[in-house]
């Protein structure tokens, strides 16, 4: 079976676009674009959590309602939600009224604040888990990856919830961290070529660059290369050597 389908303009798209009419616009204008905006990253993590056990079509149809209910997914505001506000959300028919998932968003908002204080930004943190090209699976063949498992595990250690490896894998694909298209697929005639944000560098490459321009010891480099999924340690070392600055 082909991994693509013809779009209305005759150009091929990923096969999953056929599941719902609204998926075509989502595919052509959003999915796979590299994102480094903290609020958008947090929103996507939350919406993927809400999707658990449901379909993305359901969540996409309710997305504007979610944005209204959660103040545009501003995690600094969500972290202040009270139990009374949670009860109010449980009565909102425009969203998915699942107590555990709503509570997870509120909890994760606080965890996001902590992460920003530790790592500088949510974007700087998640992009350290970007897989190497050779680690990417063939399109539409897997639902998790070593990178999504590592990111999920690290987030759980930090206290995040509803953040399993399948949820994280969907997030990473949609936000451009691990997007791989079928060879003959396109994004539509109106979609520009996606560009990765300037600071979105693979962690191993950041270490290679650092090794060339600093006095980081061979032992430190070897340790980081062995544990390349440890962005907190990576950021600390790069800051110590003046290679990055987080204000």
Q: Which residues are catalytic?
A: 26, 48, 56
Specify the DSSP class assigned to residue 1.
Answer: -
Largest CA distance in the chain: 58
Query: Between vectors from CA 17 to CA 98 and to CA 188, what angle results, nearest 5°?
Result: 125
Tokens (6 digits) for 109 = 């908002």
**Residue 14 annotated as binding site:** yes
CB 41 within 8 A of CB 122: yes
CA geometry: angle 44, 61, 98, nearest 5 deg: 65
Beta-carbon contacts of 244 under 8 Å, excluding residues fewer than 6 positions away, are: 235, 238
**What contacts 209, CB < 8 A, 6 or more positions away?**
201, 243
Long-range pairs of 143-148 with CB within 8 A, sequence gap ≥ 24: 143/169, 143/170, 144/169, 145/169, 145/172, 145/178, 147/172, 147/177, 147/178, 147/229, 148/172, 148/178
Instruction: Compute the distance between CA of residue 82 and CA of residue 19 in angstroms, rounded to an integer.
Output: 38
10 Å Cβ neighbour count for 87?
11
Binding residues for Zn(2+): 14, 27
């Amino acid at each position: 079976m082909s991994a693509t389908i013809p779009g209305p303009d005759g150009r091929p798209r990923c096969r999953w676009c056929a599941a719902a009419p609204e998926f075509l616009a989502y595919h052509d204008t959003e999915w796979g674009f590299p994102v480094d905006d903290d609020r958008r990253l947090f929103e996507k993590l939350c919406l993927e959590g809400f999707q658990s056990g449901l379909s993305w079509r359901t969540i996409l149809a309710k997305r504007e309602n979610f944005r209204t209910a959660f103040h545009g997914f501003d995690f600094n505001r969500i972290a202040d939600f009270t139990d009374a506000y949670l009860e109010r959300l449980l009565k909102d028919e425009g969203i998915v009224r699942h107590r555990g998932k709503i509570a997870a968003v509120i909890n994760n908002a606080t965890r996001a604040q902590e992460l920003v204080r530790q790592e500088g930004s949510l974007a700087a943190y998640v992009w350290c888990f970007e897989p190497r090209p050779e680690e990417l699976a063939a399109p539409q063949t897997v639902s998790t990856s070593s990178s999504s498992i590592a990111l999920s595990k690290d987030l759980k250690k930090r206290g995040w919830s509803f953040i399993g490896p399948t949820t994280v894998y969907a997030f990473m694909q949609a936000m451009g961290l691990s997007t791989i298209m079928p060879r003959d697929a396109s994004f539509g005639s109106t979609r520009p070529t996606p560009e990765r944000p300037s600071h979105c560098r693979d962690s191993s490459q950041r270490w290679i660059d650092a090794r060339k321009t600093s006095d980081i010891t061979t032992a430190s480099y070897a340790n980081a290369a062995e544990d390349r999924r440890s962005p907190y340690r990576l950021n600390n070392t790069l800051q110590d050597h003046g290679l990055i600055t987080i204000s």
